[in-house]
Structure 1
């Protein structure tokens, strides 16, 4: 079922939204890699897998997989067709375990998508990155490709029932390599330095103002 859905969902979404994509050559075609993106909308986790020519695994909040009735079944099929895995973000143990899931994905040579801000920006600014992205990159020894999304917040604004067809841009930056760069740096400092480097690259791609503070998750985020 997954392969059937995965063969249908991305081409359909790409045909509808027709996003403008730049820098796709920076995404390695094989091997473990982290795609680290800004986060403006829940559709971000749809747009990135749609345009990348290889499977990208994202963790999505479990609410997306638990809706009732026909609508819930369709939504669940949509997210499963994009290769997303559910995680309960209100369960601390589940959130910690999600890092192990990410390392497993990277360890088998797949691409893993992550939002270092932790939750979507509600004011359009780029918030400070949390160091989970650096933890994954340094532990797995894989590069980080920064991603800048523009326009996804207009696809389905808060309060809107149906998605809209609006101009979207997805920009991929040059891979940030980690191998051998932080061998003599204390681990905590290495994670912070790498995370800040990733966020600066994302800001350069998205054009967002950097907030200089962490974003806090709201109930509907």
Structure 2
């Protein structure tokens, strides 16, 4: 009830009014059943704008800190993230990562749409970074399609380090579903999971038009530093490998 109030009465109409958005490909979202919505990640605003234009509820994993901050601000923050369809994950260790994967599989088994950012964190400079294999493991274990979605312009609405949201035109592109049923039963195969993650990132690269960097975004952030301006040192991280497209799934391993 609260989710519908936020989406259709409060937050949704406000976002549509203040940030005109061109949306294409929503017909690629299944009308029912579990599916993964895999998006590039430019800004915190991504998790607000994209669900507004999806006809079904999208559930996102979110940092546990959003749900455990003390005080009035923390309680309001916890209420908002819970009401908007997000659930907490502990990213502090391997067992926590497995718990997050298990939760994702469970939600998909219940027929939900699960929103995932394969890069694992926001891009530090607007480029597309290497995808983690967790999305592949979940897709294989839950046996669901993956719908790639490109968010375009949210980094100009909500730049890293800025608390303001600026008026900009946005675009959201939903791609055709990616079917990995040919790999049924191969969850845990590192080669297969890496190939699937790369295929997802290839689809995102084509949809978004972003330059691809074959390193993890978290590593790039370590080298750049969170405080570096978006346009400052973008060419320094992974320069030798920037623009190298993620590989497609090799046909030799296909069903």
Same fold (TM over 0.5): yes
2:15 corresponding residue in structure 1: 13
CA RMSD after TM alignment: 2.4
2:2 corresponding residue in structure 1: 2
Which has the larger Rg? 2
The offset of 1:12, in angstroms, is 3.2
Q: Separation in 2 of the partners of 1:91 and 1:187?
A: 21
Residue pairs, 1:109-188, within 5 angstroms: 109-179=111-181, 181-182=182-183, 187-188=189-190
Which 4+ residue blocks in structure 1 deviate beyond 6 angstroms? Answer: none
Deviations 1:82-140 (A, max 9, x none): 21112232354333211111011100111001011111110111111111111111111
In structure 2, relative to structure 1, the CA distance for the partners of 1:66 and 1:163 (3 Å cut) is farther
Residue pairs, 1:13-32, within 5 angstroms: 13-32=15-34
Residue pairs, 1:47-62, within 5 angstroms: 47-62=49-64
Return 5+ residue gaps in structure 1 as ranges. Answer: none
The offset of 1:73, in angstroms, is 4.3
Q: Separation in 2 of the partners of 1:208 and 1:131?
A: 20
Aligned length: 220
Q: Separation in 1 of the partners of 2:67 and 2:170?
A: 25
Deviates more, 1:33-42 or 1:93-102: 93-102
Native 8 Å contact 1:23 1:171 kept in 2: yes
Task: Give the 3-state SS of the residue equivalent to 1:194 in structure 2.
Answer: helix
Native 8 Å contact 2:35 2:144 kept in 1: yes
The offset of 1:67, in angstroms, is 4.3
Native 8 Å contact 1:6 1:83 kept in 2: no
- Which of 202, 206, 221 is the equivalent residue of 2:208? 206
The offset of 1:71, in angstroms, is 4.5
The offset of 1:184, in angstroms, is 9.0
The offset of 1:183, in angstroms, is 5.1
Asked whether 1:38 is paired with 2:40, we answer yes
Native 8 Å contact 1:6 1:81 kept in 2: no
Q: Which has the higher contact order (CA 8 A, sep 6+)?
A: 1
Native 8 Å contact 2:126 2:210 kept in 1: yes
Task: Give the 3-state SS of the residue equivalent to 1:216 in structure 2.
Answer: helix
Normalised to the residue count of structure 1, the TM-score between the two structures is: 0.88
Q: Separation in 2 of the partners of 1:65 and 1:10?
A: 22
